[in-house]
Structure 1
Amino acid sequence: MSPEALAEFFSQLQHNLFQQLSHDATETRRVFHGRGRCFVGLEQLTADWLSGQLLITLFKEPEPEFLVLLMQGLVAMTEQDVWQVSGAQALLLQHRKRAGSPMEVVWGELNGRPVIQEQGLKYQLNLGRNQNHGLFLDMRLGRQWVREQARQKRVLNLFAYTCGFSVAALAGGAEKVVNIDMAKGMLNRGRENHLLNQQDVKKVTFLGHDIFRSWGKLRSLGPYELIIIDPPSFQKGSFAATTDYHKILRRLSDLLAKDGQVLACVNAPALPSQFLIDSMTEHAPQLTFVERLANPPEFADSEPEAGLKALVFRG
């Protein structure tokens, strides 16, 4: 990371952040995306406005000079009038490459369990404990698409995490949603997310199981008009996209209702959209590729195939 590039960072950050604050300070948005490699020297730096808290994340340990200048610039930003009247609660800096991914408070007071808002829906985050806070912001348009498609449908949400897709599906009028993920703690937070939005959890099933050992159970709860596949790119001991994705695709014929839809996602820079298209052609030939969903504009990438890929298929 380049100290000389920090002037561009603060220019972009302040423009995007203050534009968001003037539009809707309660809405969550990424306000700087260095990971898209559109800003030379800032590739390991992001900034997220979390409905009142600004989270700056360093994905690589910087040189001491860079860190000193970054901190000085952040403090100076909090002294501006527009920040002072923004209603901001905290400015946070997370070091992803340090042991435990520690988070320090640059300004204000940390709210470790904030409730944020995205497109009128609420989500419970957990800051300062894990690398990921509970909602992947680059999937905003994917959640929007599910909300638009879910009316009166039975939905299967594979690798559900904190059930963001499930919340969106019920907001769109889904008949029922089945969420499955090995991490039961994340599913508990998913239940909290449904309750935050005053949704009927009787329409939701939470399965804290290994997907690859649960096909019979999933089939008995189906078939589903909409299936969402959003796995981690790699999770040691449980999932690797290059070797395990096809195992899921082979099961779609047993799970998907006639004329049903599949939203298949992958976020590994080395795996392009064609990986999903070719894999579906080979392992679920009954499905036809329809479209790739756009990523949010704030997640611009110099190499679009390196970012999130969310593809729609239809039976």
Structure 2
Amino acid sequence: MMNPDALETFFDVVSERIKACGNEVRRVFHGRGRCYEGLEQITADWLGQGVLQIAIFKEADPSFYQVLRDGIEKFCQSDIWKNAGGTTVVLQHRDREGAETETLVGEQPQQINVIENGLTYKLDLGKRQNNGLFLDMRLGREWVQNNAKHKRVLNLFAYTCGFSVAAVEGKADQVVNLDMAKSSLSRGRENHQLNQHNLNQVAFLGHELFKSWGKVKKYGPYDLVIIDPPSFQKGSFVLTKDYAKILRRLPDLVEKGGDVLACVNAPDIQPSFLMEQMAECAPEFEFVSRLDNPPEFEDIDTDSALKVMHFKRQG
């Protein structure tokens, strides 16, 4: 149960973290990690350019919303808010149909260009549940940028091509993005253009993965494969059933000595799932390490949080 008395802690944490953000996009409160009692269903993201986006994932008592609104009004008169250049607060109700979004302070932009690690991404506000960039993957994108030089990269379930942008910025020779949502790939193309990238280095394949192995293989072999699937996508992907189908294809896709980043963001799936699946389906790929998650995504149980696992092909 969300506790209005706990919102004092919410504003204390947001105040402290927003000071360190500058104009970079960051999660500034992560109640979903269950580290803040009474605030388990609320998050807050600083998007830069003066915009704070708060999300509530489960309907709370009316008193909670009233205390939240009063707290926002007070916060927006603080020096911290003014020094950060704050202008807008939006509240997204993730528990309501269409992820209804309301503007509490200022005017909500329909789109906003955000900056992460010096790179620019375009986000949508108020249109859909996910705005175009998963902030908990910040260190994953940073790892790709630091490890992509002169590599051929395959980005599966590419969404809006965040990994691709990081890879090209890290001087990858070629990146192939595959996602069945062509609209997401179109946004990925925009993201590359926002960063003045050469699109001749980037391919966008708007296909369903399991019907497109021939197209994917044609661009290979690859030095780095990134697998970041949804936990469940109706009619196309069920993580516990279909992940193995991808892993079995890796020997045909990855060069010897090549790398794989295998990701899972389902709280009920343990890191051992990926270790065991890889050992069974592609035993020539050896586990190297699990990447850290951003510290702002603190979680009472690290095994429930995002899992980004690095494997390397031996031989």
Q: Shorter-chain TM-score: what band? A: over 0.9
Partner of 2:46: 49
Amino acid at match of 1:38: C
Partner of 2:214: 216
Q: Aligned partners of 1:27 and 1:304: how far apart in 2? A: 25
Q: Tell me by how many angstroms 1:294 deviates.
A: 0.2
Runs of 4+ in 1 over 4 A off after TM superposition: none
Amino acid at match of 1:12: V
Contact kept? 1:89, 1:110, Cα under 8 Å: no
Q: Tell me by how many angstroms 1:40 deviates.
A: 0.6
Partner of 1:19: 20
Contact kept? 2:92, 2:99, Cα under 8 Å: yes
Q: Tell me by how many angstroms 1:3 deviates.
A: 1.3
Q: Aligned partners of 2:140 and 2:261: how far apart in 1? A: 8
- Would you say 1:3 and 2:1 are equivalent positions? no
1:140-179 to 2 correspondences below 5 Å: 140-179=138-177
Amino acid at match of 2:76: T
SS of equivalent to 1:297? coil
Q: Tell me by how many angstroms 1:8 deviates.
A: 1.3
Of all paired residues, the percent bearing the same amino acid is 55
Q: Aligned partners of 2:16 and 2:143: how far apart in 1? A: 28
Amino acid at match of 1:51: G
1:264-303 to 2 correspondences below 5 Å: 264-303=262-301
- Per-residue CA deviation, residues 181-218 of structure 1 (Å, 9 max, x unaligned), is 00000000000000000000110000000000000111
Q: Tell me by how many angstroms 1:102 deviates.
A: 1.1
Q: Aligned partners of 1:207 and 1:15: how far apart in 2? A: 42
Q: How many pairs are equivalent?
A: 311
Contact kept? 1:142, 1:310, Cα under 8 Å: yes
Q: Normalised by the size of structure 1, how large is the TM-score?
A: 0.97
C-alpha RMSD of the superposition: 0.8
Q: Aligned partners of 1:89 and 1:217: how far apart in 2? A: 46
SS of equivalent to 1:312? strand
Q: Aligned partners of 1:264 and 1:82: how far apart in 2? A: 39
Q: Aligned partners of 2:169 and 2:78: how far apart in 1? A: 38
Q: Aligned partners of 1:215 and 1:129: how far apart in 2? A: 32
1:115-130 to 2 correspondences below 5 Å: 115-130=113-128
SS of equivalent to 2:308? strand
Give the unaligned 5+ runs of structure 1: none
Q: Tell me by how many angstroms 1:81 deviates.
A: 2.5
Q: Tell me by how many angstroms 1:88 deviates.
A: 2.0
Q: Tell me by how many angstroms 1:82 deviates.
A: 2.6
Partner of 1:313: 311
- Per-residue CA deviation, residues 129-171 of structure 1 (Å, 9 max, x unaligned), is 0000000000000000001110000000000000000000000
Q: Tell me by how many angstroms 1:18 deviates.
A: 2.6
Give the unaligned 5+ runs of structure 2: none
Q: Aligned partners of 1:89 and 1:14: how far apart in 2? A: 15
Q: Tell me by how many angstroms 1:108 deviates.
A: 1.1
Contact kept? 2:18, 2:84, Cα under 8 Å: no
Q: Aligned partners of 2:87 and 2:16: how far apart in 1? A: 19
Partner of 1:40: 37
From 232, 236, 239, the equivalent of 2:237 is 239
From 81, 91, 99, the equivalent of 2:89 is 91
Contact kept? 2:152, 2:175, Cα under 8 Å: yes
Q: Tell me by how many angstroms 1:83 deviates.
A: 1.4
Contact kept? 1:141, 1:296, Cα under 8 Å: yes
SS of equivalent to 1:125? strand
Amino acid at match of 1:279: Q
Q: Aligned partners of 1:198 and 1:179: how far apart in 2? A: 18
Q: Normalised by the size of structure 2, how large is the TM-score?
A: 0.97
Contact kept? 1:30, 1:47, Cα under 8 Å: yes
Q: Tell me by how many angstroms 1:127 deviates.
A: 0.7
